[in-house]
């Protein structure tokens, strides 16, 4: 990989992540930032998070300003464009820019559907399959591939996860392919695994289409372990997530080039905030604003947590925190009908039998 472009004077890069209470996830994001820096050694580059981790985004922007930067190319560290990439990060960036004269921020697009990302995902899946075949070789036609996306109330983002699955399924030639989600939408991983286990395949490979580890990836792998206990006749394989694969780094660099070339355009033709998407017509023109201000930077004080940094969300339980002498901070959730200082637009399929409320019942 080589940097094929140069930035104008006083221009820097801001990498914007979601953040996590899982310290391993935060460290992986920081490592990806360092790898990007090595690809562009003379380019000022900082990173920050929306919530649950430090530094927050505006601190990263402060550091760029302290270096004399006047123009920032901001990249969302997101696979697909849903609420975080469309609403929350732009809101934080716009608010910051409005407070500082002579400081311009240009926003890039998400990683999205990209052949490099598909190839990176394919290599992770092949890696897991190769390891599994060392003990029990199974023909790919006798294997089912399940790709797990993050899950969102944005149907366009959810459909991208299905497109990734189809490209991997057809590209690698598995016997069958399915898509599941870690939350918010349907089908969730556990009920999806229960369904596909009945199709008669000898092996099910579960691939989290995630950049980094964290609570959700741990939840996915736990669901796989539970399915393996329920269906011992099937071999379940947990493929590794994307992390800082070379092709992921290459895609981020390409997104910087898009900003410089004026090609940093998200897909608006299927955006539920702009167009009448089937089933989501009432969200056209909905007000776009960040709801993460109340959890900016939260995540410190858990150094003595029994999870040793590999958070599994036990700290969302107040009794757990009291037992271990940890600070407890109520978190926002995607539970529907909750009352808070911010509001998610109600997801119309919250009661779907394979969807969000299934997790709460389990």
pLDDT at 190: 97
- Tokens 């927050």 sit on residue: 56
The mean pLDDT value for 120-135 works out to 98
CATH number listed for the domain at residues 115-238: 3.40.50.1400
331 within 8 A of 340, measured Cβ to Cβ: no
d(CA 300, CA 48): 15
Q: pTM for this one?
A: 0.85
Quote the tokens at residue 198.
């009945």
The mean pLDDT value for 334-348 works out to 52
Burial state string for 171-198 with b = 16 or more CB within 10 A and e = fewer than 16: ebebbbbbbbbbbbbbbbbbbbbbebbe
Name the residue ranges covered by the structural domains of the chain.
115-238
Q: Is the pLDDT confidence value at 24 over 70?
A: yes
Lowest mean pLDDT among 88-102, 149-163, 253-267, 298-312: 298-312
Question: pLDDT for 103-116, tens place per residue?
Answer: 999 999 999 999 99
Question: If we measure between CA atoms, which residue out of 66, 70, 69, 89 comes closest to residue 78?
Answer: 89
pLDDT at 361: 47
Quote the tokens at residue 250.
């290459």
Q: Is the pLDDT confidence value at 224 over 70?
A: yes
- Count of other CB atoms within 10 angstroms of residue 361: 5
Lowest mean pLDDT among 164-168, 182-186, 346-350: 346-350
Question: pLDDT for 27-82, tens place per residue?
Answer: 999 999 999 999 999 999 999 999 889 999 999 999 999 999 999 999 999 999 98
């Amino acid at each position: 990989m080589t940097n094929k472009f140069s930035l104008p004077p006083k221009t820097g890069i801001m990498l914007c992540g979601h953040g996590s209470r899982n310290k391993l996830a935060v460290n992986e994001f920081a490592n990806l930032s360092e790898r990007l820096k090595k690809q562009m050694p003379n380019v000022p580059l900082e990173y920050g998070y929306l919530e649950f981790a430090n530094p927050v985004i505006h601190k990263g922007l402060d550091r760029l300003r302290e270096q004399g930067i006047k123009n920032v190319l901001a990249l969302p560290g997101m696979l697909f464009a849903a609420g975080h990439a469309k609403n929350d990060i732009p809101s934080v960036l716009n608010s910051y820019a409005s407070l500082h004269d002579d400081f311009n921020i240009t926003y890039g697009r998400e990683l999205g559907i990209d052949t490099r990302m598909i190839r990176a995902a394919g290599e992770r899946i092949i890696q897991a399959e190769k390891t599994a075949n060392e003990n029990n070789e199974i023909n790919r036609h006798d294997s089912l591939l399940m790709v797990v996306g993050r899950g969102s109330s944005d149907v366009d983002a959810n459909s991208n996860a299905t497109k990734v699955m189809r490209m991997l399924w057809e590209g690698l030639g598995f016997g069958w392919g399915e898509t599941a989600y870690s939350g918010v939408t349907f089908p969730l991983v556990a009920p999806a695994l229960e369904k596909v286990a009945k199709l008669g395949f000898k092996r099910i490979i579960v691939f989290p289409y995630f950049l980094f580890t964290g609570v959700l990836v741990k939840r996915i792998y736990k669901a796989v372990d539970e399915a393996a206990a329920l269906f011992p006749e099937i071999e379940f394989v947990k493929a590794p997530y994307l992390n800082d694969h070379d092709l992921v780094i290459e895609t981020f660099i390409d997104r910087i080039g898009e900003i410089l070339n004026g090609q940093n355009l998200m897909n608006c033709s299927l955006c539920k905030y702009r167009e009448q998407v089937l089933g989501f017509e009432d969200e056209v023109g909905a007000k776009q604003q960040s709801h993460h201000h109340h959890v900016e930077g939260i995540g410190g004080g858990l150094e003595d947590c029994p999870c040793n940094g590999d958070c599994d969300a036990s700290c969302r339980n107040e009794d757990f925190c009291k037992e271990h002498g940890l600070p407890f901070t109520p978190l926002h959730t995607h539970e529907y009908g909750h009352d808070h200082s911010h509001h998610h637009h109600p997801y119309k399929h919250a009661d779907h039998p394979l969807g969000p409320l299934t997790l709460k019942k389990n």
